[in-house]
């Protein structure tokens, strides 16, 4: 009887590590989920006070984008490190206790990798990605590392109450341009049916390898690019606790 019990325990442990038991499924699924803080529409109307810390956000992803409380610049996450790009254009690491009113993250694990030697501008890059993905209705986390002959980015200043809508804030955005820098574009391609809760299509943030420049990517020319794509079919939205 004791020998039989030992065999059963060993068998169950083996199944656990192989991912065959149900209690492992939640762990796997959580890593294959795009996690969003706040619906985009109320956020864009001026809901810039967040109650999710970056420590809590890191439990749901190591890759993504967003902003900080008060719409204080642009956030980009790579490899589990969260950076803020404020209006000075220089990335800094975000402290775990700081909070976000809007973010989109996942645990990035590439399902597809493409190398492109030639140069592509922003429109050519997104069109090329469109040609190499399927189906249209999936969620895609996308990482593009290469040499950026040109990158045009932006950041926005921190806002004070009463908060203006995002469209007004962008009118006062600060725009940066850099040339001949190695860096990474990080972001998502979301399907059209998500237009009411996020931004349909492509949304990218950029950070240079030397961590001296970055922001919301507006335009670029990239060459010698490695394009990594993470296909995701699970999505979780956490609404802000704000009437």
pLDDT tens-digit series, residues 160-179: 999 999 999 999 999 999 99
Would you say residue 175 lies in a domain?
Answer: yes
Would you say residue 215 lies in a domain?
Answer: yes
Structural domains counted in the chain: 1
Residue 2 has pLDDT above 80, yes or no: no
- Is the distance from CB of 89 to CB of 215 less than 8 angstroms? yes
Neighbours of 19 (CB within 10 A): 10
pLDDT value at position 15?
Answer: 33
Under the banding of pLDDT at 50, 70 and 90, the label for residue 87 is very high
How confident is the prediction for the chain on average, in pLDDT? 89
Closest CA to 169 of 73, 69, 42, 99: 73
pLDDT in tens, 29-45: 578 999 999 999 999 99
Identify each DSSP E strand in the chain by its residue range: 33-37, 52-53, 63-66, 74-78, 81-85, 91-93, 99-100, 103-106, 112-116, 120-121, 139-155, 174-178, 181-190, 201-208, 214-232, 234-238
Q: Which residue has the tokens 């990482």?
A: 143
Would you say residue 217 lies in a domain?
Answer: yes
What CATH number has the domain bearing residue 215? 3.30.1330.80
- For residues 47 and 70, give the distance between their C-alpha atoms in angstroms, rounded to a whole number: 8
Q: What is the DSSP letter of 196?
A: T
- For residues 129 and 103, give the distance between their C-alpha atoms in angstroms, rounded to a whole number: 23
Structure token digits, residue 35: 């996690």
- For residues 52 and 38, give the distance between their C-alpha atoms in angstroms, rounded to a whole number: 10
pLDDT in tens, 113-124: 999 999 999 999
- Is the distance from CB of 73 to CB of 85 less than 8 angstroms? yes
Would you say residue 15 lies in a domain?
Answer: no
pLDDT value at position 135?
Answer: 84
Closest CA to 224 of 180, 193, 190, 178: 180
Would you say residue 17 lies in a domain?
Answer: no
Structure token digits, residue 150: 């040109």
Would you say residue 14 lies in a domain?
Answer: no
Would you say residue 182 lies in a domain?
Answer: yes
The pTM assigned to this predicted structure is 0.87
Contacts of residue 228, defined as CB under 8 A and 6 or more positions apart, other chains included, come to 108, 110, 112, 113, 142, 143, 144, 145
pLDDT value at position 8?
Answer: 33
Instruction: Region of 201 please: left (phi>0), alpha (psi -120 to 50) or beta.
Output: left
107: containing domain: 35-232
**Torsion sign across C-alpha atoms 237, 218, 110, 56:** negative
Would you say residue 12 lies in a domain?
Answer: no
Contacts of residue 57, defined as CB under 8 A and 6 or more positions apart, other chains included, come to 35, 37, 82, 100, 103, 105
């Amino acid at each position: 009887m004791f020998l039989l019990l030992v065999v059963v325990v060993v068998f169950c442990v083996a199944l656990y590590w192989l991912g065959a038991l149900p209690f492992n499924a939640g762990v796997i699924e959580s890593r294959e989920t795009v996690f969003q803080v706040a619906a985009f529409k109320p956020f864009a109307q001026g809901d810039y006070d967040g109650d999710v810390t970056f420590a809590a956000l890191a439990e749901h992803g190591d890759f993504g984008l967003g902003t900080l409380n008060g719409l204080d610049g642009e956030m980009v996450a790579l490899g589990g490190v969260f950076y803020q790009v404020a209006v000075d254009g220089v990335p800094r690491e975000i402290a775990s206790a700081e909070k976000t009113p809007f973010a989109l993250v996942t645990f990035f694990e590439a399902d597809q990798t493409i190398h492109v030697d030639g140069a592509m501008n922003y429109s050519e890059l997104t069109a090329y990605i469109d040609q190499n993905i399927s189906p249209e209705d999936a969620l895609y986390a996308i990482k593009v590392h290469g040499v950026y002959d040109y990158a045009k980015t932006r950041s926005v200043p921190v806002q004070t109450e009463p908060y203006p809508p995002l469209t007004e804030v962008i009118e006062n955005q600060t725009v940066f341009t850099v040339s001949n820098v190695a860096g990474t574009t990080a972001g998502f391609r979301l399907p059209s049916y998500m237009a009411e809760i996020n931004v349909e299509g492509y949304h990218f943030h950029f950070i240079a390898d030397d961590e001296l420049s970055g922001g919301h990517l507006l335009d670029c020319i990239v060459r010698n690019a490695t394009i990594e794509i993470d296909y995701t079919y699970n999505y979780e939205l956490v609404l802000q606790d704000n009437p």
